Amino acid sequence: MNERKIIQVEDKVPFKLLAPLSIQHMFAMFGASVLVPFIFGISPAIVLLTNGIGTLLFILITKGKAPAYLGSSFAFLAPAGIVIAKWGYSYALGGFVIVGLCGCILSFIIYKFGTKWIDIVLPPAAMGPVVALIGLELAGTAASNAGILSSTSYTLDQASGLYEQTVTPVAMNNLIVFLITLGVAVFGNVLFKKFLAVIPILIAIIAGYISAVIFNVIDFGTIQDALATPFISLPNFQLPHFNGEAILILLPVILVIASEHIGHQVVTSKIIGRDLLKDPGLHRSLFADNFSTMLSGLVGSVPTTTYGENIGVMAMTKVYSVRVIGGAAVLSILCSFIGPMSALINTIPGPVIGGISFLLYGMIGTSGIRIMVDAGVDYGKSRNLTLTSVVFVTGLSGAALTLGNVELKGMVLACIVGMLLSLLFYIFDRLKLTNDREEA
């Protein structure tokens, strides 16, 4: 049996291979990455631009030793949604900038003191449910965005003084498009092989879009208007605004993205057979990741992160060359200036986005569970059971903590509670007060 040739990190790739391999990487992140700007209500063009620039910066800062493509981060969705609803997107941008800046500072702390303190502040038993909450908090919005929930309204009857209830049923065409999109995403994720296995989300979006045209969820006039957009157009840039309350709501996410980044680097290290935490060093890769987030916030884009989809591409193809990933980044930058492409992406209807979100939010939730499984969390220990239980209930209960004008709830509050409990348990351990500590 012939073993597939490994193309290592520093290897050059001939152009006839470079182009399709780079396109593959761009497609791998495309479906999930453009979903984030959709949820935030901004143009995906600016995201394609900053993802590409961020990836090139990542390669430069890590001295071409760490293959990674930076896509849109889902970790910010829940807290950023709170900020956007209260102050607007520009204030979320300010939060992204500060979180990115703090992440850069964190990279210097890691350079000086290592990473063991992260496990103390937020061990897997707490980190897992915090990450899971990112998806679980958003689960209800998927069906709402898809337009598959019936709505109830009440109007006052002046004559009787009573309220009349009106139930608006779900539009059947929305439901059909939603089910087609979700079905292709679900079964494609399980059944697709080779190259198709890399891009099930993209295929589901295309299938959903076609079905939306067939079932009149979107009309040809809208598509024609999008295609009539000038071929070359500039992405929509906007400046951030800063608000202390908004920043505090977003700030706890830094620990989530740091842990996510470490996990991705560990997995990538195993795939390529090199220890990326030592060379080029975790401090370099984490700095590059957060520096990209900071720059993205400054120009109106969404936070970036290393992407599991692209790690999966490397594992499948055995192609680890940073030149391939750099090529994907250049393609993403070029696509951001193609007006019809950006306009077409903006025409994707709610049932299609909802169908994709339905699966992706669940997968985000599952990734939190995976953290606990991969770490081998022992729930025979009372501290682990307590941590996970309290974090989940705090995040899902609707409980909120108001500090001045700042309201902390959901994943943000759960993260803070998890950190405080973890620190207390660590102190109790040091004082030899806990009943489940390892005896020396």
Phi, psi of 409 (to 5 degrees): -155, 175
Can you give the pLDDT at residue 437? 66
Measured on CA atoms in the order 288, 294, 299, 304, is the torsion positive or negative?
positive
**pLDDT score, position 1:** 40
SS3 6: coil
The rounded distance, in Å, linking the Cα atoms of 363 and 357 is: 9
Per-residue tokens: 427? 């102190």
Q: Note whether 68 and 266 are within 8 A (CB).
A: no
Q: What is this structure's pTM?
A: 0.72
Which residues fall within 8 angstroms of residue 31, CB to CB, at 6 or more apart?
199, 201, 202, 204, 205, 356
Pick from 243, 350, 290, 293: nearest CA to 50: 293
Q: Cα-flanking dihedrals φ and ψ of residue 252, to 5°?
A: -60, -20
Cis peptide before 235 (omega within 30 of 0): no
Return the closest-CA partner of residue 86 out of 94, 239, 44, 342: 94
Residue 2: what pLDDT? 46
DSSP string, 313-357: HHHHH-B--HHHHHHHHHHHHHHHTBHHHHHHHHT--HHHHHHHH
What distance in Å separates the CA atoms of residue 225 and residue 183, rounded to the nearest whole number? 29
Closest alpha carbon to 333 in 86, 124, 73, 46: 46
pLDDT of 440 reads 42
According to the model, what pLDDT value does residue 438 have?
A: 63
Q: Which pLDDT value is given to residue 136?
A: 80
Q: Give how far Cα 160 sits from Cα of 153, 156, 163, 360, 367, Å.
A: 17, 9, 8, 48, 54
Low-confidence ranges of the chain (pLDDT < 50): 1-2, 440
- Cβ neighbours for 361, distance < 8 A, ≥ 6 positions apart: 135, 136, 138, 139, 141, 142
Asked if residues 356 and 35 have their Cβ atoms less than 8 Å apart, the reply is yes
| Domain ranges, ordered by start, for the chain | 22-430
3-state DSSP helix/strand/coil percent for the chain, to nearest 5? 70, 5, 25
Residue where the block lists tokens 């977003």: 250
